[in-house]
Amino acid sequence: MTPLITTSELAGFLEEERPPTLLDVRWNLLGPPGREEYERGHLPGAVFVDLDSELASAPDERGRHPLPDPAGLQEVLRAAGVDSDRSVVVYDAGDGSVAARAWWLLRWSGHREVFLLDGGFAAWTEEGRPTTTRTPRPAEGNIVVRPGRMPTLDADRARRLAREGVLLDARAEQRYRGESEPVDPRAGHVPGALNAPAAEHVAADGRWLRPEELATRFTRLGVSEARPVGAYCGSGVNACSVVLALEHAGLTSPEAPAALYPGSWSEWSNDPDRPAATGADPG
């Protein structure tokens, strides 16, 4: 079963007696704030969740978007109306690279019926589907966050995976090669990591590539059943879309997902004793 849901599929589910819970996870590193976009229009019934303050802890030595405290995350999800036995659909502005963080956190918490809207808000509105400015007041959900249902890596395990398996870097090529670093302390990548930009998961219209296309792309990078695989990015957000893409491609499964390095480059680059490779070569 794919972790993606199409706009037409979602439209049908929203007509059912017990529709899925909708989470709006729009966010942009350079702004405007996602909440402002949400207030200008969102899917009917969708609740906004903030990446910085609700889907992450405050920045610290663990990186720019450390995993949230489980108790706090449970409070956020319950306030959004998330039930343990009711499906959830998450979306962002378009390509899913941000909403995938909510998808991953829900799976990490133990929720299995979580889907990401293919094409996001852009695809929904381009098709003329309804939006609203009304903020819903959902009944409190009953989800119990049981963290650890998705595998994670710390810096040492990420270093080892880059040598013994496949560690995918979801950042743009310029940041991977060390030619540009607009946010973090140092430029470069984890030695041995392979570049797999999250932007290349989707086509020009913002919808995800077909599973077979993604499978071909990842297989060329060395992903196979015989090798463990993990992903990182700048701060552990976009890398969640790599985890999702590997599952959508059929190269991993809900029972054996790819690992996520939550601290990602923002944690790695903060320690001057950790090496940084540059250039196109993994190093």
* Cβ-Cβ contacts under 8 Å for 256 (sequence gap 6 or more): none
Sole residue written with tokens 């310029």:
174
Q: What is the pLDDT of residue 32?
A: 84
For residues 269 and 276, is the Cβ–Cβ distance under 8 A?
yes
Q: Is residue 13 over pLDDT 90?
A: yes
For CATH 3.40.250.10, the residue range(s) in the chain are 4-126, 155-268
pLDDT above 70: percentage of residues in the chain: 100
How far is Cα 144 from Cα 142, in angstroms, rounded to an integer? Answer: 6
How far is Cα 37 from Cα 42, in angstroms, rounded to an integer? Answer: 8
Q: What is the pLDDT of residue 29?
A: 81
* Cβ-Cβ contacts under 8 Å for 156 (sequence gap 6 or more): none
How far is Cα 192 from Cα 163, in angstroms, rounded to an integer? Answer: 6
Out of 3.40.250.10, 3.40.50.720, 3.30.428.10, 3.30.930.10, select the CATH number for domain 4-126: 3.40.250.10
151-178 confidence digits (pLDDT tens): 999 999 999 999 999 999 999 999 999 9
Q: Which residues are catalytic?
A: 233
Q: Is residue 147 over pLDDT 90?
A: yes
The alpha carbon torsion through 175, 181, 185, 188 (nearest 10 deg) reads 30
Task: Tell me the pLDDT of the chain averaged across its residues.
Answer: 97
Q: Is residue 141 over pLDDT 90?
A: yes
Q: What is the pLDDT of residue 104?
A: 98
pLDDT above 90: percentage of residues in the chain: 96
Residue 86's pLDDT band (cuts 50, 70, 90): very high
Centroid of chain to Cα 283: 26
> What DSSP string describes the chain?
--SEE-HHHHHHHTTSSSPPEEEE----TTSS-HHHHHHH-B-TT-EE--HHHHSSPPPBTTBSSPPPPHHHHHHHHHHTT--TTS-EEEE-SSSSTTHHHHHHHHHHTT---EEEETTHHHHHHHTT---B-PPP-PPPP-------SS-B--HHHHHHHHHHSEEEE-S-HHHHHTS--SSSSS-SB-TT-EE--GGGGB-TTSPBPPHHHHHHHHHHTT--TTS-EEEE-SSSSTHHHHHHHHHHTTSS-SSSPPEE-SSHHHHHTT-TTS--B-SSS--
Q: What is the pLDDT of residue 187?
A: 98
Q: Is residue 5 over pLDDT 90?
A: yes
203-249 confidence digits (pLDDT tens): 988 899 999 999 999 999 999 989 999 999 999 999 999 999 999 99
Domain 155-268 has CATH 3.40.250.10: yes
- Higher-confidence residue: 33 or 109? 109
Q: Is residue 122 over pLDDT 90?
A: yes
18-47 confidence digits (pLDDT tens): 999 999 999 988 878 999 999 999 999 999
